[in-house]
Structure 1
Amino acid sequence: MNKHYHTVVIGGGCLGAACAFSVQRRLGNKRGKVAIIEKKVLGAGLSSRHSAIVRSANASPMAARMAKIATQYWKNLKPLWGVNIPYEQPGAIWIADNTTGSDSESWATLEQMLQQEGIDFAMLAHRDVMDLSRQALKTVPDEMYYYEPDVLQLDSPQILNAMQTAAKKNRIDVLEHCDVIDFEFTGQGISALHTSQGKFFAEHVINAAGAWSGELFAGIGLSIPVALEPVYAANFLVSVDDIPKGMPIIADYVNQAYFRRWRGSILHMHQPRSRNVKDIARAFSRTAMNPEGANVIYDALSFNVTHQQLDNYLGKVMNRFPKIGKPVYAGGYYSFFDITPDLKFILGADTQFTNLYYCLGAGQALKYAPIFGEIIADLITEGGVILNSIDIDEFSIARFSNNDISRYWQANALKQSSL
């Protein structure tokens, strides 16, 4: 089967879907077709296990600006995707360590930068934290608290349903259970993709394959530094009185845990990405030695939990929510962050192939999906709608052009951000 497409998107997660929807909307029905190539089924990768928290706080001003726009897109998604998604807006309380002056200064700087970007993010007094959490949280003098009211909570199954519905509404060709095997070239561009379902010609190619990217493009001489960092997510049954309805999401950077009330009386939690340069290097080392590659995401062992991990999480819950006592474990699983060496996205055009574009989320895919789709559509269709106010140079793959990742880590070891 040989087909011609204006744009072929590799990867059917939330980023690949968002790119496909935005490009096809710009093209209309007469200027060309868009296809998504997905090795499993649409949304079967990390998108199916996402915490689905949409926030704007980020240490990069440009990333924060994009996140603010993306939050508004999530609230009114229909003009972009043709469907809307239900959401809650519980806001978020950020908890930080106040025992060192440098930590206090970095969070104060973050607060100032976010406010300059028009993002509501401000320090809270302890009594205000207790009021917002309905007395559920423990507060201590050597902690700082910040509040971000415009934080959304979505639901992963509803997102997957919206992606599948939008793919049909936008007349996207979704080629599931389809593996990319090789590429053909014309001049400095990719002209065709050889897949397990035939050959597909493409004017433009979008790489939204996440952690599969490195292996996928290594054969054509591209080094794409994306690795997997495991993250454990757990659910605990608690009393509705202990975790009151409407409690903000808790981003606890003292205990290194996110907490949220989920589906009635469940307390859902997971850990944030590690910002430690050595931990990031270890994640890349594990990825290099993993014979399964990114397919480890589908391993059935990802749904097992160790007693050590469970005890660790129980301790975090009991420390932050003293009213709960000992919560009842209700199931958990390992998911993964796909990360880059600096934890920033890889977004924009390739430096070698003129019609190849990257949309890789670095562990923050879902919250940015709508705006990333619009940015890639701007680049491909030369629309200029979003790129008039957004500069994506800091997320270019060109920053890794020397292919010496270890040197990159050493150079950036002191530049890791708090968010």
Structure 2
Amino acid sequence: MHSLIKLVSIARKLNKSANTVALLEKRILGAGLSSRHSAIIRSANAAPMAARMAQLATQHWKNMNPLWGVEIPFEQPGALWIAPEAGQKNDNQWRQLEHSLQQEGIEFHSLTHTEAAELGQHAIKINQDEIYFHEPEALQLDPADILNALQNAATLNGIEVMEHTQVTGFDVDSNGRISAVHSNHGSITCDYVINAAGAWSPKLFAPLNIPIPISLEPVYVANFLVGTRDIPTSLPIIADFVHHAYFRRWRGSILHLHQPRARSSEAIAQAFSRGLMNPAGANIIYDPSNYVLNFDQLEAYLGKVKNRFIKARTPLYAGGYVSFFDITPDLRFILGKDSKIENLVHVLGAGQALKYAPIFGEIISDIILKGQVQHSQIDISEFSIGRFSDQAFDQFWSAHKRAENSL
């Protein structure tokens, strides 16, 4: 889905000339991680440039018609962030995050315990050993609404969506540029290739000797039926970094939750190690067994609900599934031109692609049509794939050992 979001923005500009934009989809549009995305749109990020881009993307989500000719419904419940108390390990990081975001003009401010209780409509357990922050601009979208709107936008903007199309190889000309993409439906000549393939990227580009460090981290998602008197429908999104869970009210009587990404270098390295042992590669996303949680996972999530909500007794399980974060070693994007092939552009979101997709589309459009990013506030140099290819991976892991990665 986020591939289509990016390409719609590009197509609107390319269609002014005699160019064609095609999206090659291995299965069915939106069948991968996009169909299981939380669709929470927030700006809070420990990397200042990523936070700046997220803020711009949020404004685009609120007014999509000028970009793509469609509207996408959204709610703005805001987000209540919960973190360990002052004096504990993470406190300084959260205070620094608050200051950094405010420097970027992003509304993110601390709350007293009384203010947090009121924002949570007295349905949330407020503890003296916790600190609280409010991000009022956080949005909630519905993945089904996004997909429907973007399918319409693809038609409106002349994008050729080629489903059930598997890339099998590339032709590279004497100038080192990709001249054609081979697929099970034949070859397609091209001026530019945009890689938005996420966790399929390493295998896809290995024949071109382009190492792309993307792996998959499982994320467990559960839905529970709850009463409105127990957990009000108008609650903000709750980003609970004490119990490691995002909570949100979803489609009437559903309480939806999933865990955040792991952020320690050790946990990220473990995810990459597991990826090397996975013979299915990114195709594990399509495994039918991923549409159910086991007993231990369900019990753990029930415990998170009971530990955070005052009146939650034993919510009724209403379905769950395993999704994945596609992650890089430092949890930051891979964004911009490839360091080896001039007409290859990467748009890999490190588990956050959907929320950034509108601004990603503008960035990639600028790179292709103007040769560089045109927005004066955006510098994508820190997200270049060159930060990995310019050094051996063992050196990268050593340099980032014990470092906490971005939000």
TM-score by length of 2: 0.97
The answer as to 2:62 corresponding to 1:62 is no
Aligned pairs for 1:4-403 within 5 A: 13-14=1-2, 16-98=3-85, 100-186=87-173, 187-382=175-370, 386-402=374-390
- 1:175-204 CA deviation, whole Å, 9 max, x = no partner? 110010010011121010111111100000
Change (3 A) 1:30 1:402: closer
Amino acid at match of 2:118: D
Q: Is the 8 A contact 2:265 2:403 kept in 1?
A: no
Q: Secondary structure at the match of 1:219?
A: helix
Which range is displaced more, 133-142 or 385-394? Answer: 385-394
Which whole-Å CA distance do the structure 1 matches of 2:192 and 2:200 have between them? Answer: 19
C-alpha deviation, 1:99, in angstroms = 5.2
Q: Is the 8 A contact 2:331 2:405 kept in 1?
A: no
Q: Is the 8 A contact 1:229 1:337 kept in 2?
A: yes
Q: How many residues align?
A: 406
Q: Is the 8 A contact 1:377 1:383 kept in 2?
A: no
C-alpha deviation, 1:272, in angstroms = 0.4
Which whole-Å CA distance do the structure 2 matches of 1:297 and 1:334 have between them? Answer: 9
The residue that corresponds to 1:407 in the other structure is 395
TM-score by length of 1: 0.95
Q: Is the 8 A contact 2:264 2:402 kept in 1?
A: no
Q: Secondary structure at the match of 1:139?
A: coil
Unaligned runs of 5+ in 2: none
Which whole-Å CA distance do the structure 2 matches of 1:31 and 1:114 have between them? Answer: 42
Change (3 A) 1:61 1:203: same
Q: Is the 8 A contact 2:264 2:403 kept in 1?
A: no
**Cα-Cα RMSD:** 1.3
Which range is displaced more, 29-38 or 340-349? Answer: 29-38
Q: Secondary structure at the match of 1:255?
A: coil
Which whole-Å CA distance do the structure 2 matches of 1:33 and 1:205 have between them? Answer: 12
Q: Secondary structure at the match of 2:313?
A: coil
Amino acid at match of 1:277: S
C-alpha deviation, 1:31, in angstroms = 2.9
Which range is displaced more, 338-347 or 406-415? Answer: 406-415
Identity of aligned residues (%): 56
Q: Is the 8 A contact 1:227 1:340 kept in 2?
A: yes
Which whole-Å CA distance do the structure 1 matches of 2:94 and 2:278 have between them? Answer: 37
C-alpha deviation, 1:418, in angstroms = 5.5
Which whole-Å CA distance do the structure 2 matches of 1:386 and 1:125 have between them? Answer: 41
Q: Secondary structure at the match of 2:191?
A: strand
